[in-house]
Chain A
Amino acid sequence: MSELRETTYLEAIRDAMAEEMRRDDRVFILGEDIGAYGGAFKITEGFLDEFGADRVIDTPISEAAIVGAAIGAAHVGLRPIAEMQFIDFIAPAFDMIVNFAAKSRYRTGIGAGLVIRGPCGGGSRSGPFHSQNVESYFANVAGLKMVAPATARDAKGLLTAAIRDPDPVLYFEHKFLYRRVKEMLPIDEEIVVPLGVARTHREGSDLTIVTYGGMLYKTAEAAEAIAAEDGAEIEVIDLRSLRPLDTDAIVASVRKTGRLLIVHEAARFGGFAGEITAQVSEQAFEWLDAPVRRVTALDTPVPYAPALEDYYLPQVDDITAAARWLLAY
């Protein structure tokens, strides 16, 4: 039995990188303020001392150059981790990700096994440029993988798997969870969570709620409230990976419960909820007893003032209301 230690979501990310860097000298990290400063959220604190300036590389404020260098290094066998200081700043690297990293294997047969990670999500009163969820921007791009962990175990296990993966992986870490989420994790045991496999967070037979990332906790709270107050059992599926999407797990659950609600923090139009709805409609139409519904953020930029941001983000009450509507349908 391994010794356990209370580990925050943030520490899980740090541990995954440090352990992979110790295990494999091909792994290195590059980004803005990650070396001497230790990262905007102190995730790479101590890395410069332990691994040296060759493997913990402070770069100019040049996201395209950061991702580009990661691609080139991957081409010659290294395992780069490119940090976006906030995932919002992935926008200047869009061209590199979409046109170079994602298409490289398809076009040339030479892959780009790299990880691009950064803090996403709202709730920390950070305004339109430090709060976004960008997964939908990349959802339409073949060749990419995308993960969005909700728990500390998954944060560690998915990052380890992503670093070892031969394809480009976008790793979305929810900054609201950094220090709020913690769990007991083994300190001397490797954790690897395979990409593309969802996790059933809570079993139930009356309604399926599919969610991921920061919305897992609000969804779980809504499910518990409905179990206590209404006696209905909701199955909560935490996707963990967005691409590959574990459609089999979603379809199996919907065939069991006959009802589906999708909850995500990204905006609604063109979001993952729409894709999941389409796949369920194609593969489980006859099992549906109610329309598929979505609870998402508004189709607006992320606003700054607390009252505005709270209104923008999906809240527990929004989830319980939609769930009750579906249960009563």
Chain B
Amino acid sequence: MLLTRGLEERLEILLKQGHLVGSVYRSLGQEATAVGSAFALGPGDWLAPSIRDMGALFVRGLDVRDMLRQYTARGTSLCAGKDNITHFTVPELGLLGPVSPLGTQLCVLNGVALAFKQRRQPNVCMTYQGEGASRTGASHEGFSLAAALDLPIVVWLEHNRWAFGTRSDRQSAVEDWLDAAAMYGVPAESVDGNDVTAVYAGARKAVDRARAGGGMTILVAETYRMHGHAQHDAQKYVPAEELEEWRDRDPIDRCEVALHETGASAEELAVIRREVAAELDLAVDDVLAEPGPEGEEARTRVYASADLDALVPWTRGPVPGYGDLAPHLRAEA
């Protein structure tokens, strides 16, 4: 959680310094849902984060440099500079990235879960969507198919109250988002999304059930998006008292209190904070020294065959059969 928050704070600074391409999408206030849930997965399992679940990626073994490379559009990034944020897929780490049209990712993760089931492989998939994303047709189709086919998958419905600038009561008439999960006929539970141990416990139960052949579980994380949609969003539509109320439930503060209660000393926690800061210092220095992609790489990797990719560029080059000059000019030259 500290790594997530620390990296996002660095990213905001790097954005102001002009090092980033695009904006920063914070998971402020939601770090516990991503981090606690990812700890419930085991080797060979797959995880499909939304843009606000960066913390889950680090739990699954992603290097913070990879996130920095994404945000700085480096040629060395997992998307080779062709896409941003958490939009990468890394089979070796069991990570499936989202695309911006929401709800679609669940449909794709279903295919991974289907493969696990077909191969009798005891692995599990986990994914996340905000309550806004869950209103898309693709999301509904994804839930329906996963439930009907009894797939080993755990889906978090992150009820973070805001989808960009729209409050969750404009996404659905349900008051309790558990009711939105009820129609799929699979086990569903509500979890305090700002309590990392409660998140872990809920995830663990669901993951164990899926691994044992019990199929899909939907978990509703009650949480709050403490930042605007992205850096350009000053969140003017959010009542100040609501933010105050949820600031008191900050997942990192609550975790610290819990750690103190179980005997961790202030010094131990300070050491963790220093280590995180040092790791981020190093990572930022490394990544800023790495090169961006060359422009002509824009035409590569469209197809598996480089021969097909080679058909792309001539819109900018000589016309096949003609060369650089039109025939009458060529005759004069």
Contacts and interface: CB of A to CB of B under 8 A. Distances in A.
Interface of A: 28, 54-55, 57, 59-60, 62-78, 80, 92, 95-96, 99-100, 103-111, 113, 142-143, 145, 165-167, 196, 244, 251, 282-284, 286
B141 A28 contact: no
17 contacts: A62-B141, A65-B110, A65-B141, A65-B145, A68-B142, A69-B107, A69-B145, A72-B112, A78-B111, A95-B101, A96-B107, A100-B107, A107-B82, A108-B88, A113-B304, A283-B322, A286-B327
A107 B88 CA distance: 7
B321 interface: yes
A100 B106 CA distance: 12
B80 A65 contact: no
Contacts, number: 150
A77 B115 contact: yes
B183 interface: no
Given A62-B144, A95-B138, A110 B111 contact: no
Given A69-B111, A72-B113, 13 more contacts: A62-B141, A63-B141, A68-B104, A69-B145, A73-B111, A75-B91, A92-B137, A96-B138, A100-B99, A109-B80, A111-B304, A143-B302, A283-B322
Contacts of A74: 111
Contact of A71 (B88, B108, B322): B108
Contacts of B80: 109
Contacts of B101: 95, 99
Contacts of B145: 59-60, 62, 65-66, 69
B47 interface: no
B308 interface: yes
Contacts of B96: 72, 75
Contacts of B312: 142
B118 A75 contact: no
A234 B82 CA distance: 46
B324 interface: no
| Majority DSSP secondary structure for residues of A touching B | helix
B4 to A, nearest CB: 22
A103 B149 CA distance: 27
Contacts of B114: 57, 69, 72-73
Nearest to A69: B111
Nearest to A279: B320
B171 interface: no
B163 interface: no
B107 A59 contact: no
A78 B311 CA distance: 28
Contact of B79 (A71, A72, A96, A108): A108
B133 to A, nearest CB: 13
B319 A72 contact: no
A142 B308 CA distance: 11
Contacts of B149: 57, 59
Nearest to A60: B144
Contacts of B302: 105-106, 142-143
Given A107-B83, A107-B87, A69 B321 contact: no
Contacts of A105: 301-304
Nearest to B151: A69
A78 B115 contact: yes
Given A108-B79, A283-B321, A72 B110 contact: yes
A57 B109 CA distance: 16
A142 B101 CA distance: 18
Nearest to B319: A282
Given A72-B111, A80-B111, A110-B89, A65 B304 contact: no
Interface string B124-166: 0000000000000110011011001100000000000000000
Nearest to B148: A60
Contact of B304 (A57, A72, A166, A282): A166
A237 to B, nearest CB: 18
Contacts of A99: 99-101, 104
B115 A104 contact: no
B55 interface: no
Contacts of A76: 91, 111-112, 115
Contacts of B112: 72-73, 75-76
Contacts of A92: 137, 141
Contacts of B321: 251, 283-284
B215 interface: no
**Best-surrounded residue of B117, B141, B144 (most CB of chain A within 10 A):** B141
Contacts of B91: 75-76, 110
B97 interface: yes
B78 interface: yes
**Best-surrounded residue of B78, B144, B302, B312 (most CB of chain A within 10 A):** B302
Given A69-B145, A78-B115, A92-B137, A108 B89 contact: yes
Contacts of B109: 72
A179 B320 CA distance: 42
A191 to B, nearest CB: 21
Contacts of A142: 302, 312
Contacts of B311: 244
